[in-house]
Amino acid sequence: MKNTPSGRKSLLTLLFVFISGLVFCQPYVYVSPKPESKLINPRQAIALRTGLPIDKSSLDECQLRVVGSHSGFIEGKKRLASDGLTLIFESSEPYQKGECVQVSIGSGLKQHDGTAVAPFAFRFYVSPKDKVFVPETAIEDDFAERGKTMRAALPTAHLSGLKSISSTIPLPGDFPPLYITANNDPAPGNYFLFSSTQNANVSYYMMILDQSGTPVFYRKNANRGNDLKLQRNGYMTYFDFVTTKWTEMDSAYDFRRYYLAGNGYTADAHELVVNENSDYWLMIYDAQPVDMSQVVEGGNPNAIVIGLVVQHCDAAGDVLFQWRSWDHFDILDCDTTWVNLTAPYIDYVHGNAITLDEFNNPVISSRKYHEITKINGQTGDIIWRWGGSQNMFTMVNDDRWFSAQHSIRYQGNQVYTLFDNGFRLEPEYSRGLKYRIDEVTMTATRIQTFENDPPVFSWAMGHMQVLPNENVVLGWATNPDDFVLTEYHADGTKAFEIISADSSLVSYRAFKFSWENSIFEPETDSLNFGTVDIETGNQVEAIDIHNKSNEPLFITDAYFNDPAFSLVDELPISIPAGTILPVQIAFNPSENSAYVDTVYFATKSSTEMVAISVRLFGEGILTGISDHKATREAVVFPNPILSGQYCTVKVSQGEQIQQIKLSDLAGRQVSSFKPTTPRQTECSILVSHSGYYVLHIESSKGVIMKPLLVY
């Protein structure tokens, strides 16, 4: 790989970004379209920015003239965008195909401080053709590659002993067959997936799974979709491949709005980033006719070449910033051993991710360049290029580099993460990578790697997410081993993992977020029945459920894992809008033991489900008989407790505590404690992490189990 950018210019570069001999006195830091740029969309708005706020009242005095070589004088409206910085002119009619458009801004425009903006003139060239049809296979090589290693289904033996995500809540017959292969203290939160498949017996589903892998939301989609995730403004978004729109939903899973591309373009499915105030960034795949015979020997004179456009729009959809690969990338810098430049359709960039640094500079991932590119968010100029043929960095602690990568994310403090597909490397395998960038020494130092043992190769798509507790989620997307997602602890050990029994199933990305629906919720997240006599049993307690919506709510189902717990009320349970209703649960223990379970209350239709959960605790005990063992007791106080605090365990007189083991709900031992002196009947223990646990209190007369809830 090269350590300095190439100085050469291809014929395509000369064709696309040739700057005329005119020297402009440039009063603007941002001009769109870029002066002398070609292949401009006929619906392109003109945008200009000086870098300082514009005096809105001066717009009427601003002499802005737009003339087309075919259209003549072009009428339109000028206005100030919501940022107060960007002057926008929109033509009343589309520009004519192939024409040259001359733009002149005369006197009259002033900045907010009263400073006059100097006159300026430039021109651009409109694309010679209308929108061009491009077959999906020309852009999405991901799906063509995936077919090479598909199997009809995973071997049954491979699934033996694994927990299905439908083990608690029965799921529709066409729901993706997902299985949990690891569950070892994952971070709090919910997993977000949007599954697609080539299996005729499995449908498209968006889904949210809780920390245990149980679905708490699913919706069947008629269309293939992508990238279900929580945005910074607090709402969810996903892409629909049929409508070709980014759709936003609220926490009641209701439609809010679409996010659309501007300037006459259609949004692409790879990325949408929505900020706190609902301004947004997205990508566009821009197909244009190019005579490739002028670029490479044997090139197709009628080729359709697919460029990349990146847009930043305000909440209303006005384009505040636009960057085009036509203006900044040389087509010969892509991986020409992969991209066939003599083909009739050429996807030479294949952008797939956008992230923003602390200065709102976009950083993009280009798969076919094996490159991460940082762009000045004010001017559009390239700041640096990392990876690929035009690499500007020295890599430290990573001789392998990355290839065909996805999911570049800025973590702050000059730390970046990405999902390295490893496509076309030797050997081919995928991993999550964390780097520290030094823009002074121009070094990129690998500081952490997350990968499977044995390696998993995801030839396309994929995602890496760093959670608040430093756990990492990898979405494996397309791979022959049918991995869906893996959550890793910060030390690289697995915390949680899901695989699929449908070998064609893929979720473009997998995420984990803290999430609550706004339809209904329990007033408390746990219910403790205390100690209940095994002989009499039937202890009934109520959990208050709040219908937060404006419509009546019908709880259609309640699901338990342990038959010791059951629903008293008859289904369906109707809760009027905006009210709270107590729902009764019975506890009937059959053994002298601690009981821990989760009840899921669901409102369900044939294509959709929303569920909430409540943790259940209880203890069965025998009383009223002469058996000495039956009257044994242990007391845990306080219970519940806050994480980082001590609780005290006390056993009956005549017993001595030998050891106390703390296990999670999967039966894994978390820690153990021993008395500091012999013959103790009381022992204090410290629990550092929140969760639901079981105390195994080993005394001189046996073992007593007690539930413990830690907030």
Neighbours of 83 (CB within 10 A): 15
Residue 507, CA atoms < 13 Å, CB-side half-sphere: 31
Q: How confident is the model at residue 153 (pLDDT cuts 50, 70, 90)?
A: very low
CA distances from 102 to 15, 105, 126, 603, 680 (A): 19, 10, 11, 60, 91
Instruction: Specify if 555 maps to a domain.
Output: yes
pLDDT above 50 (res 152): no
Give yes or no: residues 638 and 686 share one domain.
yes
Give yes or no: residues 565 and 589 share one domain.
yes
pLDDT of residue 706: 83
Last residue of a domain, one of 592, 621, 650: 621
Distance CA 282, CA 267 (A): 7
- Number of domains making up the chain: 2
Segment 707-711 mean pLDDT: 83
Is there a contact between 543 and 529 (Cβ–Cβ < 8 Å)?
no
pLDDT above 50 (res 22): no
Segment 70-90 mean pLDDT: 97
**Coil, strand, or helix at residue 393?**
coil
Segment 296-311 mean pLDDT: 98
Give yes or no: residues 660 and 701 share one domain.
yes
Distance CA 299, CA 278 (A): 43
Single-letter amino acid code for the residue at 279: D
Quote the DSSP letter at residue 350.
-
pLDDT above 70 (res 518): yes
Q: What is the pLDDT of residues 240-297, one digit of tens each?
A: 999 999 999 999 999 999 999 999 999 999 999 999 999 999 999 999 999 999 999 9
pLDDT above 60 (res 514): yes
Q: What string of DSSP letters covers 71-114?
A: TEE--EEEEE-TTSSEEEEEESSPPPTT-EEEEEE-TT-BBTTS
Neighbours of 34 (CB within 10 A): 20
Single-letter amino acid code for the residue at 172: P
Instruction: Specify if 587 maps to a domain.
Output: yes
- For residue 14, what is the enclosing H or E element? helix 11-17
Instruction: Specify if 2 maps to a domain.
Output: no
- Comparing 536 with 111, the larger pLDDT belongs to 111
Distance CA 284, CA 6 (A): 26
Instruction: Specify if 363 maps to a domain.
Output: no
Give yes or no: residues 650 and 616 share one domain.
no
Instruction: Specify if 334 maps to a domain.
Output: no
Instruction: Specify if 551 maps to a domain.
Output: yes
pLDDT above 60 (res 155): no
Give yes or no: residues 641 and 577 share one domain.
no
Domain CATH number, residue 566: 2.60.40.10
Domain encompassing residue 648 = 632-710
- Longest CA–CA span in the chain (Å) reads 105
| Strands in 381-481 per DSSP E | 382-386, 394-396, 406-412, 415-420, 431-438, 443-450, 463-466, 472-475
Instruction: Specify if 511 maps to a domain.
Output: no
Q: What string of DSSP letters covers 124-162?
A: EEB-SSS-----HHHH-HHHHHHGGG--SS--HHHHTTP
The whole-angstrom distance between residue 246's C-alpha and the CA centroid of its chain comes to: 14
Give yes or no: residues 642 and 566 share one domain.
no
Give yes or no: residues 525 and 593 share one domain.
yes
Q: Specify the pairing of strand 303-313 against strand 280-290.
A: antiparallel
Instruction: Specify if 348 maps to a domain.
Output: no
Single-letter amino acid code for the residue at 378: Q
Give yes or no: residues 606 and 636 share one domain.
no
Distance CA 142, CA 138 (A): 10
Distance CA 611, CA 587 (A): 21
Distance CA 130, CA 115 (A): 41
Last residue of a domain, one of 569, 588, 621: 621
Is there a contact between 153 and 308 (Cβ–Cβ < 8 Å)?
no
Give yes or no: residues 558 and 526 share one domain.
yes
Last residue of a domain, one of 568, 602, 621: 621
Give yes or no: residues 694 and 616 share one domain.
no
Residues 6+ apart with CB under 8 A from 426: none
Domain CATH number, residue 694: 2.60.40.1930
pLDDT above 60 (res 151): no
Give yes or no: residues 529 and 607 share one domain.
yes
**Coil, strand, or helix at residue 606?**
coil
- Comparing 8 with 331, the larger pLDDT belongs to 331
CA distances from 290 to 69, 109, 301, 444 (A): 21, 38, 7, 36
Give yes or no: residues 568 and 610 share one domain.
yes
Nearest one of 246, 239, 270 to 260, comparing CA atoms:
246
pLDDT of residue 658: 87
Instruction: For residue 181, report the phi and psi dihedrals to the nearest 5 degrees.
Output: -110, -10
